């Protein structure tokens, strides 16, 4: 593998990810932005939504990011579980945005699939409240539930999904199936068994089953927990199969030709390693990958000046090896051609030497900053080359790093422009 990385494809050999044709394709109804945490998935999803809307699509952005940056950048006071219209969109399309409320989505499922009295019993049940708020994988499952709901409404012709900030990018694909399997007939039989057995034997059996749950459930008292479980299962017994059915349906939706996955990463080793895992997993699951969005790529307007040369020049300035050109020319004009007098070549004591002029110090500092930037560029290039050597078929769009955070629609448009350009600007900050 080492040799393939050394002699494999570089970014210049990699196909360019063309964003605008993807956004303009009416056959693409869902774009899923996925990748490791902290790589800019939320900003990418929002920028795609803005650009798609301003190119004529009726788009909605579903974000799972708990931060409020997306709402602020879109001029909305608060995003919640209901899609809200984004004002200020130019062009013929429109944009809505929403932030997933995991528990509220779970409540909506209960309300939609149970009569009012049974729904109320479920929603007030302590066991359900713990399950809906704290079970591992619930957020990813509810993101898929909400995606299925949005797609079924057919109100938008493009849904952009910002996936949950998982510990691993693979959790997003695994969790819906995992929770769907848990909430089926086997789960019902597991929880009904203690009630049928009764007594301490029943509680011992229940404790084995509860080991699969989060610490939140363990805080409930044993006897009360058993009664809560019995009440919960009695109320939900007709609903569990539907969770698995919907999870499978959404999984098939993700595999459909109308879906496009964008793996988002930063030019850093861990983020691109995670991106490589996700690319391989999408291929194994036969899910349509559009390409890789490489965020926060650094550039330089003076890339021809290497780090080594910049550092050498800075050292020369510090040591006074680079003479003042004007002073040198003046000395030449005043020369008579005779040999200099001994006094002219006498060494000057260190205490008598003038301090380095401020311009020299400033220039040396700027040269060192440039050297640091070029070292960053070199490190990013090596990291990208490792990824492209492993996956030369994956189309890539680079997004130049911005000098600050995105906080309004103009900033999202700027990100969209860079996405569509496919490459980083030479002088990117």
Per residue in 81-102, pLDDT (tens digit) is 889 999 999 988 999 999 888 8
pLDDT value, residue 370: 67
Per residue in 36-95, pLDDT (tens digit) is 888 888 889 999 999 999 999 999 999 876 566 667 778 777 778 889 999 999 988 999
pLDDT value, residue 325: 44
From first to last of its 429 residues, what are the pLDDT tens digits of the chain?
Answer: 333 333 344 445 678 999 999 999 999 999 999 888 888 888 899 999 999 999 999 999 998 765 666 677 787 777 788 899 999 999 889 999 998 888 888 899 889 888 898 899 889 988 788 878 766 677 778 888 888 889 988 899 999 998 876 656 566 777 666 766 666 555 555 655 554 454 455 445 445 544 444 344 444 445 666 677 767 777 776 677 777 788 788 888 889 999 999 999 888 888 888 889 889 989 998 899 999 999 888 766 666 766 677 677 767 777 766 544 444 444 444 444 444 444 444 454 445 555 545 787 787 777 777 667 766 677 778 878 888 888 999 999 988 877 777 778 988 999 999 999 854 433 333
258, two tokens: 């109308």
- Three-state secondary structure of the chain: CHHHHHHCCCHHHCCECCHHHHHHCCCCCEEEEECCCCCCHHHHHHHHHHHHHHCCCEEEEEECCCCCHHHHHCCCCCCCCCCEECCCCCCCCEEEEEECCHHHHHHHHHHHHCCHHHHHHHHCCHHHHHHHHHCCCHHHHHHHHHHHHHHHHCCCCEEEEECCCCCCCCHHHHHHHHHHHHCCHHHHHHHHHHHHHCHHHHHHHHHHHHCCCCHHHHCCCHHHHHHHHHHHHHHHCCCHHHHHHHHHHHHHHHHCCCEEEEEEECCCHHHHHHHHHHHHHHHHCCCCEEEEEEEEECCCCCCCCCHHHHHHHHHHHHHCCCCCHHHHHHHHHCCCCCCCCHHHHCCCCHHHCCCCCHHHHHHHHHHHHHHHHHHHHHHHHHHHHHHHHHCCCCCEEEEECCCCCCCCHHHHHHHHHHHHHCCCCCCCC
Contact 63, 97 (CB under 8 A): yes
pLDDT value, residue 258: 95
Whole-angstrom Cα distance, residue 296 to residue 276? 18
Q: What integer best gives the mean pLDDT of the chain?
A: 75
**Claim: this prediction has a pTM higher than 0.85:** no
pLDDT value, residue 189: 58
């Amino acid at each position: 593998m080492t040799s393939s990385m050394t002699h494999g494809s570089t970014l210049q050999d990699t196909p360019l990810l063309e964003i605008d044709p993807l956004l303009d394709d009416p056959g693409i109804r869902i774009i899923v932005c996925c990748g490791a945490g902290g790589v800019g998935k939320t900003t990418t999803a929002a920028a795609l939504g803005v650009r798609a809307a301003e190119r004529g699509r009726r788009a909605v952005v579903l974000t799972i990011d708990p931060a409020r940056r997306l709402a602020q950048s879109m001029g909305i006071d608060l995003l919640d579980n209901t899609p809200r219209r984004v004002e200020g969109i130019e062009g013929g399309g429109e944009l809505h945005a929403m932030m997933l409320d995991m528990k509220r989505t779970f409540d909506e499922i209960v309300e939609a699939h149970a009569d009012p009295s049974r729904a109320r019993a479920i929603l007030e049940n302590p066991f359900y409240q713990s399950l809906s708020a704290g079970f591992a994988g619930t957020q990813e499952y509810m993101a898929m539930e909400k995606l299925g709901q949005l797609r079924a409404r057919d109100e938008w012709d493009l849904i952009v999904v910002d996936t949950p900030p998982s510990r691993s990018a693979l959790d997003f694909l695994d969790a819906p199936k995992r929770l769907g399997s848990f909430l089926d007939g086997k789960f019902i039989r597991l929880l009904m068994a203690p009630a049928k057995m009764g007594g301490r034997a029943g509680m011992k059996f229940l404790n084995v089953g509860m080991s699969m749950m989060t610490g939140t459930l363990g805080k409930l008292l044993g006897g009360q927990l058993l009664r809560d479980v019995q009440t919960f299962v009695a109320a939900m017994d007709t609903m569990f199969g539907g969770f698995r059915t919907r999870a499978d349906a959404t999984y098939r939706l993700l595999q459909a030709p109308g879906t496009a996955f964008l793996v988002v990463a930063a030019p850093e080793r861990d983020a691109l390693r995670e991106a490589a895992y996700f690319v391989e997993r999408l291929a194994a699951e036969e899910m349509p990958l559009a390409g890789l969005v490489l965020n926060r790529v650094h550039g330089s307007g003076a890339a021809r000046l290497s780090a080594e040369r910049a550092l050498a020049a800075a050292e020369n300035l510090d040591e006074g090896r680079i003479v003042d050109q004007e002073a040198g020319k003046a000395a030449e004009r005043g020369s008579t051609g005779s040999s200099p007098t001994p006094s002219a070549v006498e060494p000057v004591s260190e205490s008598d030497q003038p301090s380095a002029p401020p311009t020299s110090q400033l220039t040396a500092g700027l040269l060192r900053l440039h050297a640091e930037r070029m070292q960053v560029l070199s490190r990013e290039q090596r990291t990208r080359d490792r990824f492209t050597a492993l996956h030369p078929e994956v189309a890539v769009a680079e997004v130049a790093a911005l000098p600050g955070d995105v906080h309004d629609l103009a900033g999202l448009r700027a990100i969209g422009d860079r996405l569509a350009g496919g490459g980083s600007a030479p002088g990117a900050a």
